[in-house]
Homo-oligomer: A and B are copies of this chain.
Amino acid sequence: MTIKDVAQRSGYAIGTVSRALNGHPDVSEEARARIMTVVDELGFKPNSNARHLKQREGNEFGIIVKGTHNILFASIVEELQSHIKDLGRSVTIHYLDEDDDEVEQAIQIYREHKPLGIMFLGGNLNNFSRNFKNITCPCVLVTNRADTLGFPNLSSVSTDDVVGAARAMGVLLDAGHSRVGIIGGENYKIDPRLGYNTSHLRFIGIQQACLQHGVKFEPDYQLVVSRYSMEGGYEAAGVLLDRCPDMTAILAMSDVMAIGAMRAILDRGLRVPDDISIIGYDGIEQANFCIPRLSTIKQNAELLARRGVDILLNQTENGQTVHEIVPFQIVNGESVRIIEK
């Protein structure tokens, strides 16, 4: 079943069928109606390989999601989809492995789909700086800053991770916790001119908060690095509990790690927040279903998505890139105890 069958059956040439199918204006109402009838009768669906192979410019947006397990991304994707649909545009979502090179994949997608624009959910600045020059359509990086990269077609919209982490730490310090364990992601090396990765930014925020509060910060002692998962958080909390007996609180750089940490604390016979307070980061749905409810820094998924779409659309029209910061919200759950001084 190809466009040829539709042409034959409708009595028009395949070129006309193609034009009708793609909503070109230069097709008579009569032809359009006849062709559409046949398309319905036959249940014809165009072969997207052929279409993409020939088309010089697609009419869809692309979303590249780094990591299928990232719950925050999942909710941003959902918002993204609905916003794009609201605006009458369509979109294809590409899920990548956590450790795939998202820019390399994007180059492939760019060649093969010629999207109107690409949204990246999560990204590694190293990958961008190395290869992004090969992509020339409008793009926006969501949840990471891209201003330091200086590409003329790459916008970004993100939460200020330095300030967010500083506020998270501030919550604990204000509550009287001066011995705080940190569960963080890895601060992988980036050329400092490119900026920092998310974990590193949050690290800086924590450092700043300690400085402001006049509290000593000893990463070698207080910080344990782990994967962004419940299991990772569980293990890291175990290490911290062993290493820092005087610790009264834990800051986890993501909610999933915090949830793992909570379980580890309980398994040691301690209680949250009575013995150990805990604060997470991201504000995923699950944080609100935890027992006790998790205090956290909630990234505004809805706004990140909406601004991401608007920025990208705007960029396709006038070529202007922007690097926007979206506000976060401090969620006071039940996992932080105020210490009497």
- Enumerate chain A interface residues (CB-CB to B < 8 A): 45, 47-50, 52-53, 68-69, 74, 77, 93, 95, 108, 111-112, 230-231, 234, 259-260, 262-263, 266, 285-286, 288-291
Task: Please determine whether A45 and B263 come into contact, CB atoms closer than 8 angstroms.
Answer: no
Residues in B neighbouring A288, C-beta threshold 8 A? 263
Given A68-B74, A108-B45, decide whether A291 and B291 contact each other with a Cβ distance below 8 A: yes
List the 6 closest A-B pairs by CB distance, nearest first. A49-B53, A49-B49, A263-B289, A49-B52, A291-B291, A230-B289
In whole angstroms, what is the CA distance A49 to B48 when docked?
8
Residues in B neighbouring A262, C-beta threshold 8 A? 289, 291
In whole angstroms, what is the CA distance A262 to B289 when docked?
8
* Min C-beta distance of A100 to chain B, whole Å: 12
Nearest CB to that of A260 among chain B residues? B289
A-B contact pairs, 22 of them (CB 8 A): A45-B108, A45-B111, A47-B53, A47-B112, A49-B49, A49-B112, A50-B53, A53-B53, A69-B74, A93-B95, A95-B95, A230-B285, A230-B289, A234-B289, A259-B286, A259-B289, A262-B291, A263-B289, A263-B290, A263-B291, A286-B286, A290-B291
Nearest CB to that of A233 among chain B residues? B289
In whole angstroms, what is the CA distance A222 to B47 when docked?
49
Task: Please determine whether B291 and A266 come into contact, CB atoms closer than 8 angstroms.
Answer: yes
Nearest CB to that of A104 among chain B residues? B45
Of B53, B77, B230, B291, the residue contacting A286 (CB under 8 A) is B230
In whole angstroms, what is the CA distance A45 to B285 when docked?
40
Residues in B neighbouring A291, C-beta threshold 8 A? 262-263, 266, 290-291
Nearest CB to that of A286 among chain B residues? B230
In whole angstroms, what is the CA distance A288 to B263 when docked?
9
Residues in B neighbouring A290, C-beta threshold 8 A? 263, 291
Residues in B neighbouring A285, C-beta threshold 8 A? 230-231
In whole angstroms, what is the CA distance A68 to B69 when docked?
9
In whole angstroms, what is the CA distance A7 to B326 when docked?
49
Nearest CB to that of A107 among chain B residues? B45
In whole angstroms, what is the CA distance A48 to B230 when docked?
37
Residues in B neighbouring A47, C-beta threshold 8 A? 53, 111-112
- Interface hub of A266, A285, A291 (most chain B Cβ within 10 A): A291
